Structure 1
Amino acid sequence: MGPPVPIIDFFFKAHEPGLILLAATICLISSYACIGLLRHAQRSIDHMRMVWTGVAALAVGFGIWATHFVAVLAFRPGFTLDYDLGLTTLSMLIAILVCGAGIAVAVRGTSVWDHVLGGAVVGVAISSMHYTGIAALIMGGNLQWNSVLVAVSIPSGIVLGGLAFRTGMGRSLRGLFGGALLLTGAICAMHFTAMAAADFSLCFPLSANGSIDGFWLSVALAFISVLLLALALGSTVLDEADRRRTERERDRQLRDARRLSEVSTRLELALTNMAQGLALFDADGTLQLYNQRFPNLLGIDSTQGLTGITFPQVCRRTLLGVDADFQDIDVRLAEILDSHDSLIRHGGEIVHKFSEDRVVQISHNPVGDGSWVTTIDDITERHRSQRAIAHLARHDGLTGLPNRARFNEAFEWSLSKVRENGGKIAMVAIDLDHFKEVNDSHGHAAGDLVLKTIASRFNALLREGEVIARLGGDEFAALKEFTSMDALREFLARLEEALTLRIENDELTVSTGGSIGVAVYPDDGVDLSKLLSNADLAMYRAKAEYDRAICYYEQDMDEHARHRRDMARDLWTAVERGGFYLAYQVQRSVSTGKVTGYEVLLRWKRPGHGDVSPADFIPVAEECGAINAIGLWVLRTACEDAASWPEPYKIAVNVSGIQLAQVDLIDTVRNTLLVTGLTPGRLELEVTETAIIGDKQRALHILRQIKAMGVSIAIDDFGTGYSSLDTLRSFPFDKIKLDRSFMSEVESDEQSKAIVRAILALGHSLSVPVLAEGVETHEQLDVLRKEGCTEAQGFLLGRPGAINWEDLLEASSSA
């Protein structure tokens, strides 16, 4: 098939202009008649609507058919065309019947989309008729098609047909002419696009029995043109008649309205402007007076008038208005009348909920002679607000999941059910992994998206006996009623799958995960708080174990975690309430025995537990984040104490690895010295090599800044851990503290003594003094003195505690 001929060139070069003008005129007349008759059919009722629908279908069907064949007569393919009688007749029937269906849809429809759909069906009729009419051409050869233009031709008729009916439905003249023009455009656009899609270059004329030639077809088309003109004129007359009838009806209504307004202006004004629906019933229960709000609020069609009907009839119409089932309407009507009977006699109000969009409060007020006044208030918005408030009170605002209060209710309900029927309840604690990193890396909007996506997945997986709630942040909790462990494991597998599926949108792709802890009623607890606490413990264990996402509560393992959590809570309480105190352990010169300084030791007397070793609570403080606050308190308190001493002894304060990782440690030390007035040379910070090795460059940078202030730096617990000579080389420490573990065997173990001797020799070679910790016997002190140790501390030289300056000064003066 050769290249497609442009539609414009095809239109002007391949047609007789006079016949094309005739086809367009027929098309316009039929379109005008169709739209006019369509509007008239819409305003008609009962069987007359069907009659005018049929007349409109004949008008547009004949018009489409006539337009097609006049345009085909105008077409110049290079040879004479004959037409198959059967297919030609079929094409006309298709046009009339399918158009009739579309017009019926538009006439009976109540919405804009019904009108558009009817016009689209007419567009289908245009296409169907055209291609059937092409099939009616009798010719030889091979008729070829441009698939692109064919694909354009069909939607063009459908779209313009839908727009034509949408525009033409109504009462305005603009709509009438606009709809007629659009329908003309639909017919012409479809026809000429489809004709341009056909390639007749490989075809030749044929004659066949049962065909009709162009002459008789022209006669038929002329007849149809006259018929269409008559229909168009008829539609104009009908439209004018409708217009006059409408005007007469409007005049009559205006006269009636003026007459009524003279009698009841004040009453009408009051009733019309009432927000309530109001009705007056006489002693027989017959409706005597009502305002428009009354039937509107009840959902009753008021166009037929309600005056004179009884209260039961009002109730029946109300039920019919909400599509009541006709089989039980009498039963429901009896129930409603029974509920209103006492209120009508004695007064009162009742609430009826017809749907989520209509909730009314009905009040009856007896007058005294048996009659009564009924008022109706629309409380839909108030009802919605109450429901919204109730929902918000029991659901999470971000995810829509139940909140803690609703979750507690669900547990109590499940508990009563299990106690009655048997079975168990699984309490499941869920915490998202690395959720803080999502917020920090992508922003809180991304975090909210993750939470809402996970919540949506949770909602999708829930079955009977299962509840999932958001307790706060990225913490969720779930309930599962079960009788077999297989059912519980299947539920947990669904939870895990929902947590691990990737979350993707246009701007974010994250892989989530979660840790799940499970506690079971009644094995692991019988009340909500205990079960949830135990599930939390199991969840934290799952978070700590990288190879497990789900952990069940195990008393021996999880109670240890509970103790650590309790200790962490008490540590924070001690920070807030000043529950710590300091002890000082003396440091002396090994050669002279004179006091050289004091090491500051932190002490905590935990309420209900007594004194707790720093070896027990310091790791917990580092884990829960309290170590920074504790370290700041220790540093400031020790400096304040030392600044008040009568003797300028040095104090040694330990710094944890977490503190050393904070750059603001530099400012903390500087501000503390400034506020307390302590000379920098009297402060010594003790750090372990383990604290340094985590981020060596950062730690050494911070220590150099502090040392530049004049503060001394000591490396603590030397001889354990890494004991790297590179660390000693990288930073000029002011003191090496020999770990106490070497002193316990230095008297009897030659290996320990050799290590002590090596460290002391290292200190001598680096010109760094060495202080030995844990000296408890004279023999240990003699070994240190013999090996040239600089300083020592331990129980032999003085136990940790408060400093008694009177005794100390007296001893110093005696010496």
Structure 2
Amino acid sequence: MNSLFPAHDPRLLAWAAVVCLVAAYGSTNLLRKSQRHTGVAQAIWISVASVLIGLGIWATHFIGALAWNPGFAISFTPGAIDLSLLVAVLISGAGVALATRGDGIGIRFLGGAVVGLAMASIQIFGRAGTVIGGTIGWNLPLLTVVVIVGMALAGLAFVVAMRRHITAGALLLGVATYGMNFGAMAAADFSNCSALPAIGKITSEMMSVGVTVISLIALTITFASMVLEEADRRRAETERQRQLADAEQITEVTTLFELATTHMAQGLCLFGRDGHLEFHNNRISNLFGDRIGDHDLIGMHFRDLALALQGTSRPVADAPREEAEHRIDGIISKIISGETCDYMRTMNDGRIIRFQHSPIVDGGWVTTIDDVTSEQRSQAQVAHLAYHDPLTSLLNRAAFNERVDAAVSIASETDVNFAVVAIDLDRFKEINDSYGHLVGDQVLKALGTRLSTGLKEGETIARLGGDEFAALKMFTSIESLREFLDRIESALFARIVTDQVTVSTAGSIGVAVFPDDGGDRSRLLNNADLAMYRAKAEFDRRLCYYEHDMDEYARERRAMSKDLWLAVENNGFHLAYQVQKSVESDEITGYEVLLRWNRPGHGLVPPMDFIPIAEESGAITAIGAWVLRTACYAAAAWPEKYKIAVNISAVQLGQMELVTTVRDVLLQTGLAASRLELEVTETSIIADKQRALHILRQIKAMGVSVAIDDFGTGYSSLDTLRSFPFDKIKIDRSFMADVDNNDQSKAIVRAILALGKSLSVPVLAEGVETSSQLDVLRAEGCNEAQGYFLGRPGDILWTSSVTPLLRKMRL
């Protein structure tokens, strides 16, 4: 046997090794690519891999043939050469297909062994295509070993390559190809061979060109596969990064979702289109742990879960469960039809739970469950406060107005009548002033309870504000109305025991009946108020029904109020002055200023008639300021420096502006403060004692005198005299009428005079009309007096010359 490698060209052997390894690398690379695809794409990559393996085997064999130098020229048969290439490709394709489409190491190894068989076949067909003379001798044992080893290496190469070790697999496949080719050359004996004519054959030179072309094709395919592999690698890396980013985002979203669902205040459930629970958060367990226990809710049907949550677990035959199931099936039908269901249920434990079912695209639905007990109770409380008085829990004005409107509607369409009742407590302010607002509130609460206790159908009690209440009574007979009013009277006129004191309450009641006394709410309420004020004005009446003349009275008061304001604007008032004299010396000590009003079309109106209306309408403030300013201007012009006494109403005394008004008038008129005396009644002080005394102290600090008027009537409280250093006490005229022949009147006058002496406060008696009355006062030591006996009210000579000037100045 000839020596193998010395008979070959080393350069071509090296080239054969390069082509072999490059083709092997490309083949294993394409093998992995075909493994990652399926269908048509896989078939294409199997075909490309088969061609590359076949080309690599064929090129390695024939480069080796060209590298062999037997000592004579060799040529090649064209058909056999082509057939050898085709056989190599087809057998390689079978091996690649088997390894790619099979599963397991054994199949992959077998596929590689089939490719090793293609390597062996090229030895047969390639030698058959080589034109030489003589007979080739074979070392069959060596050839067998070479073929078996080559097939084994090829099988191992496929196993390694398909386990992602492409480079190692390529080396094994290259060694198998190269080794089998030159191992077969070593097993062949060419000693008996010689050259043959190359007529019609492929010469070595021509074969070199063909082998070069095939090698370049193999190299090109390998390079292309490497480029594709790199592109795939980059694409795979990009996809992997995208998948990682998506996975990270999904993880983040999932984490946020878990956090949201875990910590959300609502229970959350996801039901599939078949009605079974697919997901729920932990809030469900918190809401209904006592109902569901430790059971896994996933997979539970909506119907069963709803029954469990609502506490309906009795047998199917039980009517409540059947009713619940029927209701739940109705809810499911609505949800399936695409309707959102939102409702609340009161659970057996008293909680109010809100269920909201929202359909989703796939036919399932999302259910949110929320405990709205506190919210509903708060809303109920707000609604209650909106229509109820917070102190007494009775209906308030808004709710009462709605009840009256509803009663008007009902009574207009039926034979049922109704009455509106206005209720006002008498002297309730005295309770607040005497015992404090805490006691006053307790009284109002007790009255609210009494008035509302035992109410029947069609009866309503409301508190409109302060000490003002109202009632509504639907009735078909006047007897039922009277019985209702009797109950109201019994509740009003009773003793109430508070935490501190026991007080007696009273009230005035006015009644207006639909439709005789009004056909709408406004008219009925107004007429009931008129009746109530009539009852309050009359000493011997607690309850008063509305009468038509009450409207006339109210209209007259409104007309007088309007004329009072016109009189303020047009200087329609004038002043009269009543002299005040010393009882002992009969000397003039001053004058009391009296207001007079000659109402156009009505003549002279007594102050007792128009002053209360002026106070109600608010005109008293402007009138009082006019009186004060006019009187001070007049007194400042008198040649004699007599003192003037001006009455101050309760309304004026409650206004801090009075201090500023007095100061401004004194500055404007130039009247000395010592010549001005303001007269106030104890009733006006009691209205707001702290404020009134604060205002009087400021006025007294200017040097103005302050007298307490009408003493002996009203409260006659010694505490009032103690609280403020009055400059004069005026005895009311009611005690002077029979002081000269009535021992009781004389005793009262004597007591007041003694009180004045003990307090060092001078006393003036009003209403002195006879000499005998004056004698009594003189005998008892009274300081001053005024009355018709001493001088009737009228103009003063000095004042008449000033009056036109005052009117011109519109004071």
What TM-score, normalized by structure 1, do the two folds share? 0.48
- Structure number with greater Rg is 2
